[in-house]
Structure formats: structure tokens, C-alpha cells
Structure 1
Amino acid sequence: MTTLRRSGEASAETGVSLKALRGYEALGLVVPHRAENGYRLYDERQLRVISQVHRLNSLGIPLKDMAPFVDCLNAGSPHADACPSTLTEYRRAIERIDAAVTTLSRQREALVENLTVASRRMMNELRELDAANPNLAPLPDDLEAPVDDGAAAHLVGMPLPAVALPSTDGGSISLNELGNGRVLIYVFPTTGSPEHDMPEGWDSIPGARGCSPHNCDMRNHYADLVRSGVRHVFGLSSQRAEYQQALVRALRLPYPLLTDESLVLAADPGLPVFTAGTLTVYRRLALVVDEGVISHVFYPVFPPDGHARVVLEWLNANPAHASAPDVAREAGA
């Protein structure tokens, strides 16, 4: 005996909204039975049609081109694409997507070029502003370099955790939902603030000094990073979100900073930290993330105001499409 489902049941079973069911009906893709009270009723075959139409539409087959697939099912085939005419529709859909990808790729290339030109145009103004900022004075030549203590050796190959961090763009960024493509996250300890003195002896701690110059160096090469295949750039520290906002404005950063005030990432994936006085902060490093997995770690980072070039050299030698978890770390970067 055939079991018939009402509209709500058919919607729940197939995952297709009631509005979409009405749309399928209006186009003649599915014709439900009618009960004496006028309710629409769907049998097993019609549920199969609804499910496969929904799936094919999500893959890019327009509803107006769905008739060959439905005809194939109505002819008794268990598969919507078991008829020669359906292969033609697959081919046409692939050609449409290829054309769209080509158009979008050209638009992206044009936007990246505009970004590069605009960034270079702004450099002279930014250099003048940086020169007037006492926090951006050149780092001393005798600044002690940090040593590789192995604290980041475990990071390569680890996925980013399901953690949402406040972003200076507003809202929060879920690290495990950054999507496909290459992401660069550079981590810095803390920048100076008029509200708080730095811990005693801060400048003598290897790797501590130079956070503002580090941010400016990444800012100055942002367009180059994008041209080298980075889809997102994020700076990250444990500073308060409000101070991160002020830092973005003061340094004119074109990308967001993330705040991990509770040092959640020190536990997972295990970013290294250090303590100065009563302040515990992250050690300076940078992560290259491909498809949500850490594929390369720059640690330690030195000097901080020249690290962008080191990152660019690695990116250009390791294109995103060919990247894989790299067990080698950037020693002494």
C-alpha cells in the first residue's frame, strides 16, 4: 500500500521548503495528488522527484532546465540522470559555471590590481604618518633575537579550533569556518598603550618589542600578500577588543585584528605564550592556514618589522594550490 505524505511531511522528509514545493508544482515538475479536502499528497515517486530536483538545483541546474531529469524519473528510472538528454544538461551547466568562474577570476584580478595601485599610492602618506609616531621608531640594531625553543613545533597539520574571536570588523570570526583558500594569521604579544606601562624589562625580552612596527610591516605588504594567494589576513593578540579597534584606526590597517583576551588558543591548538611581570601574552609567530589546517608556521619571528618579506618569499615558493602540511618550520625567521 502506497503511503501518501501531506505537504508538511514531504517538506520535512526531503528538506525542501513549502514555498519550493509550490514552485516545483507551478513549473509542472511535480504534480501532487489531491485529497477530498483539497490537501496536497505526495507518493514515494514524487518524493524522489522532489529530492533529486532539489539536489540538482543546488548544484547549478536551473529549474527551467530540469524537465529531462524529471522525465527520466517519471519513465521509471531510479536515477534522474540515467537518460542521454540529462547528460546534455550537465554539460550546459558545467559550461555556464566555467564561464562564470572565468568572469569572476578576471574581476578578481582587476580588483587585486586596483588594490595594489591604491596601496602603493598611499605608502608615501603612511610613511610620513609613521615617521611622526613615536611608537614606530626604528628598532635598535642590537635588539636581541629570540631563539627557537620548539614551542610551535606541534602546530603544523593541526586544524583551527571551533573558536569565535572578536574582530575589529565587527562581530566575531569563527576560526573553523574561514572557508576554502589560504589564510595568514600573524600573532603579536601586545602594543604599547598610553593607559598602561609595559612590564618592567619588556624591551629586553627577546621577541617582545616591535609589535606596532610588525603590524605596519604587514600593512605595507598587504596587497603583496593578496597577490601571492592569501585570501584573508588577520592580526591576532590578547589585547582588549577596544584597544585593537583603536590600533586599527591608528595604524590604518586594511584588515581586521582578532582578540583572544582569555588566551583560548594557548590550549588549542597550543600557541606559545610568555609572561612578563603579571602579563601573559602570545609569542610572536605567523600561521599559514590552508583549507582550515595549519600548513606552515613562522617561529620565531625576527626582526618583526621585516617579517612580511619572509612570509612573501615562502608564499611565492609554495603556491596555495600546491600547498600541503609542511613539517619544516621557518627557523630563525
Structure 2
Amino acid sequence: MRIGDVARRAGVSAKAIRRYEELGLVAPRRLPNGYRTFSEQDVRAVRELRALRELGIPAERTRPFLECLASGAQDGDDCPSSMAEYRAAIDELGARITELTERRDRLAARLTAAAYRTARTEAPAPVPAGGAAAQAAPGAGLAARLRGCRLPRLALAATDGGTVALDRLGPGRTVLYLYPLTGRPDVDLPEGWDTIPGARGCTAEACGFRDHHADLTAAGATAVHGLSGQDTAYQREVTERLRLPFTMLSDPGLRLASALGLPTFEAGGQRLYARLTLIVRDGTVEEVFHPVAAPGEHAGQVVRWLGSAGHR
């Protein structure tokens, strides 16, 4: 048969067969007119070469398999020499996998070290026209609906290893600030994050509550909690890196949003809390801050509100 027939039956190109011939892996018979003629044995050999190539075994190392076929074996790997070649290929792959895994781990470690070494606190989100003062008042519609609402019976995991029951926050005023997600230096934010209104500024807001924590307690807050849909392990890293003196609560199912009808938005294929702050007194929502126009300045806004509320 002609080279085109072999190529079609074996599922390879005629160029590949010519290369196999150059390597001495197939040896077609030459006719008096100079044309090659291939046998059924050649078709079996070329099929074996194709299968081995798909396994990553180069043509130069396929002779044991071809010799096995030539000896009359049903399959090219029926012979001990063929199985030995399999073992050698597996050992080489194992060594390469180990080397690549170690290289990947070293790269990941360098990335993490570089990211944390060069990390900077997020700049405050841009303030809308009119300045922060123009947005200082809580969102009127949301606040009117939520004031006087009792918090639902929800126990959320906290970064200190315990849980916080929202319906049993205790007497006095608790500051519960909700945020979309806090970025980490070694983890990419959702695509287009900086263009989503109100998304940027979570780290700046957390640092603001950290820096004003003493002022908040002095103004009458008995506790401060951050709350998002991120898992506790992720939040714990942020808490430790930013040295936050309060716990962060994890609500991955956004159950509080469902219970109270709180605003959310979607980014990167996940549903996130819109930024807002609740002042909870004796289990009841006393005040709502939404929208939060300047996250980095928001803690000071809450301090001022608490100071004025203390005289009521």
C-alpha cells in the first residue's frame, strides 16, 4: 500500500511516516519504480508510534515496543522490555512533577512575600461631589425601614474562633459595619472592582475602625464587629495583618441580608454585601449609615454620631 493509505489508516500525517522511516522505525519495501510500498505490519507499527507519542514517549525511545510487535506479540507492550520503558517514562515524569511542584511552591512563596512586603493600605474611595459632609446622613429610605428592627436569630463565626449571636449582642450599643470584601496583597480582586460604585475602600474602612476603636468605646460602643460574606479563615488573615482589635464575622450565605432585606451586589460571580453600618442597641437597630461615601473616614463619622447619641 502507498504512504497515503498508511497515513489514513494509522491516523497520522505522511510527513510523520517519512520521519519514522528516517529514524529506521519503519522500513517500507521499495518497488522497481522507486515507490515505497507498506505492509500491514508497517500500519501496526505506525499506530503504535502514534499511541506512544500521545503518551509522551518520544519516537527515539519506541524501539522496544516495535521490536515486541515484530516478534509476533499482539500488542507492543506485551514484552518485558516495553514495560521497562513504561517504568522509565513514569519515573521521569515523577521527577519532573516533583521539580515543577517545588518550583511552583517557591514562586508562590516569593509572590506572597513580595505582595505583603509592598502592600499598602488602600487609598480612601473617591468622595462624591459635595464632599463627605454631603453624604454624612444615613440613607433615609433604608434607615427608615430598618430602624426599630430586631436582629434575627443568627450565630455567625468570628475570627477569634467563637461565634456571635446577632440576637444576643448584649446591652448597650454595638457597631456592626458590613462591607463587600477586604482585599489581600496576594489575591486578585474581582475584575473591574475599582469601577464598581461603593466597592473600593474596605481595607481603609477596617483601618479606620481600628484607629478609632478607643474613641468608639469611649463614645459608648460596647462592641465593634465587621461583617462580610468572606469565610473566617480569609478574614482571620486580614484581622492579623491589619492588627484589628475587634472580631470580624463571616456570613457566607448572606443570611442577614435575606432576613433584613439588606442591599447586595454581584462582582466576580459572587454576591456581596453593599457597604453599610448598623448601630444596634439592646438587639434592635437604632441607626443605619448608608451609603458610606468615604470608607476611610467612616469610623470618625460613627464616633461623632455616638457622641451626640449619648446625650439623647
Kindly indicate whether the alpha-carbon contact (under 8 Å) linking 2:125 and 2:295 is maintained by their aligned counterparts in 1.
Answer: no
After TM superposition, give the deviation of residue 266 of structure 1 in Å: 1.1
Q: Which amino acid aligns with 1:240?
A: D
Kindly indicate whether the alpha-carbon contact (under 8 Å) linking 1:184 and 1:286 is maintained by their aligned counterparts in 2.
Answer: yes
Q: Distance in 2 between matches of 1:135 and 1:263?
A: 29
Kindly indicate whether the alpha-carbon contact (under 8 Å) linking 2:126 and 2:294 is maintained by their aligned counterparts in 1.
Answer: no
Name 1:43's counterpart in structure 2: none
After TM superposition, give the deviation of residue 277 of structure 1 in Å: 3.3
Name 1:21's counterpart in structure 2: none
Unmatched 5+ residue regions in structure 2? 1-115
Displaced runs of 4 or more, over 2 A: 131-135, 137-153, 193-197
Q: Distance in 2 between matches of 1:305 and 1:194?
A: 18
Unmatched 5+ residue regions in structure 1? 1-130, 323-333
Please, which of 297, 308, 311 is the counterpart of residue 317 of structure 1? 308
Q: Distance in 1 between matches of 2:249 and 2:190?
A: 23
Name 1:292's counterpart in structure 2: 283
Spell out the pairing of 1:9-88 with structure 2 (5 A cutoff): none
Q: Which amino acid aligns with 1:155?
A: L
1:225 aligns with 2:210: no
Please, which of 110, 121, 127 is the counterpart of residue 136 of structure 1? 121
1:184 aligns with 2:169: no
Kindly indicate whether the alpha-carbon contact (under 8 Å) linking 1:135 and 1:192 is maintained by their aligned counterparts in 2.
Answer: no
Q: Which amino acid aligns with 1:174?
A: A
Q: Give the aligned length.
A: 191
Percent identity over the alignment? 42
Spell out the pairing of 1:218-297 with structure 2 (5 A cutoff): 218-297=209-288
Name 2:150's counterpart in structure 1: 159
Relative contact order higher in (CA < 8 Å, ≥ 6 apart) = 2
Larger Rg belongs to: 2
Q: Distance in 2 between matches of 1:202 and 1:243?
A: 18
After TM superposition, give the deviation of residue 190 of structure 1 in Å: 0.3
Look up the SS of the partner of 2:145 in the other structure.
Answer: coil
Q: Which amino acid aligns with 1:136?
A: T
Q: Which amino acid aligns with 1:138?
A: A
Name 1:48's counterpart in structure 2: none
Q: Distance in 2 between matches of 1:227 and 1:248?
A: 22
Look up the SS of the partner of 1:274 in the other structure.
Answer: strand
- Deviations along 1:276-320, one digit per CA (max 9) or x if unpaired, are 230210011111011110000000011000001111111111118
Q: Distance in 2 between matches of 1:241 and 1:235?
A: 12
Q: Distance in 1 between matches of 2:127 and 2:261?
A: 30
- Deviations along 1:160-216, one digit per CA (max 9) or x if unpaired, are 110000011112111111121111101111011356422221101111001011000
Kindly indicate whether the alpha-carbon contact (under 8 Å) linking 1:155 and 1:270 is maintained by their aligned counterparts in 2.
Answer: no
Q: Which amino acid aligns with 2:166?
A: L
After TM superposition, give the deviation of residue 149 of structure 1 in Å: 9.0
Output the TM-score relative to the length of structure 1. Answer: 0.53
Look up the SS of the partner of 2:146 in the other structure.
Answer: coil
Please, which of 293, 297, 304 is the counterpart of residue 302 of structure 1? 293
Please, which of 190, 203, 224 is the counterpart of residue 194 of structure 2? 203
After TM superposition, give the deviation of residue 250 of structure 1 in Å: 0.3
Q: Which amino acid aligns with 2:264?
A: V
After TM superposition, give the deviation of residue 153 of structure 1 in Å: 4.4
Look up the SS of the partner of 1:312 in the other structure.
Answer: helix
Q: Which amino acid aligns with 2:275?
A: R
Spell out the pairing of 1:84-123 with structure 2 (5 A cutoff): none
- Deviations along 1:126-161, one digit per CA (max 9) or x if unpaired, are xxxxx9763414236577899859455421110111
Output the TM-score relative to the length of structure 2. Answer: 0.57
The verdict on how the C-alpha distance between 1:260 and 1:227 changes in structure 2, with shifts beyond 3 A counting, is: same
Look up the SS of the partner of 1:183 in the other structure.
Answer: strand
